[in-house]
Amino acid sequence: MAGGSSPIQPPPAKRQKETSSAAVNSLGEDHPPAAMTGGLKRRRQRRQSKARRAPPIHKLGEDLLLEIFLRLPSLATLVRAALTCRAWRRAVASSPSFRRRFRVVHPPPLLGLFFEAPGPVQTPNTPAFPTFVPARRRDRDLTAAVRGGDFFLTSLEDLPDEGPCWYIVDRCRGRVLLVNWDDASLVVFNPLTRRIEDVFDLGPEDMFDDSRGHCAQINPRLLSSDEDPTSFRVVLLVHDECRIRATVFSSDTWEWLVLAWVDVPASSGDDERWIQHEGGMQANGFLYWVYEDQRYLVSLDTATMEFCVTELPHCLRDSTFDIGKAKDGATCIVYSDQLNVGVLMHTRDDDGVEKWVLDRVVPLDRELERVLRVGLDDDTVLNHLVADHSDLSVLAVQDGYVYLSSIPSVHHDSQTSCWFLSLCLETMRLERLFRRSFDNAVHPYIMAWPPSLVGNYGGFALQDAQSLK
C-alpha cells in the first residue's frame, strides 16, 4: 500500500525493541544476555555453597541432637522425633544422662484417670472393666499417644480362660496391675504400648503358713524400673494378728518368694484387718502401707526387702494423703484438710530414726476459686464448692505434682459431680482437668519413659546390630 506501512509487519521501532531483548540462534532458541547469565550463575553458586556449608539433619552429632531433643515440649513429642530413624532412637536409648536431664525439664505428663466400675465387687465374673477419662491436654502428641493406646483394656479380652472381670489395684511407670478376684489371678498390662504379660496366680499357696490367728492379704503392689523395661515385680503383703510378711513375684523367675514374718507394733483398733486394704503408695524404691487407725506407717525397702515402722504425725489421722516424690526427687507426704494442703518431708535424725517433718500448709480456697472461674459463666458450681466448705481429696503424688479431687462435704454420693485437678508442689498453682462423678477408686495414669527408648531390646537390638555391620 503506497504511502503507508504494511499491515502485516510490525512498526520498525517495536521490532527494534523486541530484537534487542534477546538473541535468536539458528534453531530459533532464545538466549539471555551475558549479564543475565552471569547473575543466574552467581545465585546458583551461592545456593550450592550454602548447601555445602549446612550438613543434612541426619548428620548431626549426638551431643547437638540431644540438646535439640531436650528442648522439645513433651515426652510424647520426644518419642515421635526419636523414632524417626534408628540413629536418633539409638542416641536417646543409649544415654541415661540425657534421660535424667529430660525428666528434670519435662515431668512425666498425666494422660488421664482410670475409674473403677461403680458399685460392689460383682460375682461371679460379671463383666466389669475400669473406665478411662483423658486429661484433655492441649498437646497433639499426647492426644495421639492416647488414641494409639488401648485404654479401654480391650486386649484383656484376648486372654484365654479368663473371666471378663478385672480391677486395677496398682500402677507403676506406665504399667497397670489388674486382679481378677474370682479367678484369683493377676496380669500386668501397658495400655500405651499394648503389651500384656501372661496371667499369674494371686499369691503362693504357702503365704499364710505359720500364721497366728486371723490372716489377711493386702492389695498387691507393682514394682517396675524405667531403666529395665523388660522385667517387673509384684509385692503382696499379708498379716496375722500382730505380724507382717512380704511375698514377692518376679517376672525373671515367674515364681513367688515368701519372706519371713516380722513383728510390728500392735494396732489400737479391734478390727481383724488392721492394715488399710486400698491405697498403694511408693516412692524412691520404698513401698508404704498405713494402719487402719492411721497411727503407723509400714515401709518396705524393695532393695533389701527390710521393713520399718514409723509413727505418723497427728495431722494425718483424719486426712487423705499420699506418698510420692517432689520435683527434686525428695520423698514427701501430701495431705488435705478441707481446702488446705500440707506437705511433710521425710528426714532422719542424728540417730538414724526416720521422721516426717511438716514443711508447709497452704490454703487453696482462693487458688481454687481462680482456677474454677476460668471459662465458667455460671457461678453456681463455684459458690457451692467454696461457700459450702467442700474438701479436697489427695489421689496421688508423683514427680512434683499432686492429683486431687473436690468432694462436697454435705450430701456426697456416687452421683455427685467432682472437679479433678492437678497441683504443682513448686508453685502451688492448680490446674483444672475435668468434672465427673466420683463413684469409686481412681488411678491417675502417668506417661512413663517408653521401653523403645531404653537400651536395645528385642527387635531394636537386631536392627541396630544389622545397621552397624
Domain edges within the chain:
57-102, 313-439
On whether the CB atoms of residues 414 and 425 are closer than 8 A, the answer is no
Q: Predicted confidence band at 372 (pLDDT cuts at 50, 70, 90)?
A: confident
Phi then psi dihedrals of residue 124, to 5 deg? -90, 120
How far is the CA of 281 from the CAs of 243, 302, 412, 445, in angstroms? 20, 13, 26, 14
Q: Predicted confidence band at 386 (pLDDT cuts at 50, 70, 90)?
A: low
Is residue 449's pLDDT more than 50? yes
Give kind and range of the element (H or E) at residue 92: helix 86-93
Mean pLDDT of 141-145: 93
Q: Predicted confidence band at 181 (pLDDT cuts at 50, 70, 90)?
A: confident
Q: What is the pTM of this model?
A: 0.81
On whether the CB atoms of residues 261 and 243 are closer than 8 A, the answer is yes
CA-closest candidate to residue 131, choices 431, 420, 395, 439: 439
Mean pLDDT of 29-41: 59
Kindly report which listed range (99-113, 125-139, 231-245) carries the lowest average pLDDT score: 125-139
C-alpha cell at 214: 486371723
Kindly report which listed range (39-43, 200-204, 290-294) carries the lowest average pLDDT score: 39-43
Half-sphere exposure of 299 (CA within 13 A, CB side): 20
Amino acid at 5: S
Is residue 34's pLDDT more than 80? no
> What percentage of the chain reaches a pLDDT higher than 70?
77
Q: Predicted confidence band at 226 (pLDDT cuts at 50, 70, 90)?
A: confident
Distance from C-alpha of 87 to C-alpha of 283, rounded to nearest angstrom? 34
Distance from C-alpha of 349 to C-alpha of 183, rounded to nearest angstrom? 47
Cα of first residue to Cα of last residue in the chain, in angstroms, is 86
Is residue 270's pLDDT more than 80? no
Q: Give the model's pLDDT for residue 457.
A: 57
Distance from C-alpha of 240 to C-alpha of 229, rounded to nearest angstrom? 34
pLDDT digits (tens, 9 = 90+) for 389-438: 478 999 999 989 999 998 765 555 556 778 899 999 999 999 999 988 87
Q: Is 330 exposed, middle or buried (0-12, 13-18, 19+ CB in 10 A)?
A: middle
Task: Give me the residues paired with residue 296 across strands.
Answer: 311
Give the orientation angle of helix 96-105 with respect to helix 62-70, to 10 degrees. Answer: 20
Is residue 467's pLDDT more than 80? no
Q: What is the DSSP string of 121-161?
A: PPSSS--B--EEEE---S-HHHHHHHHHS-TT-GGGGGSTT
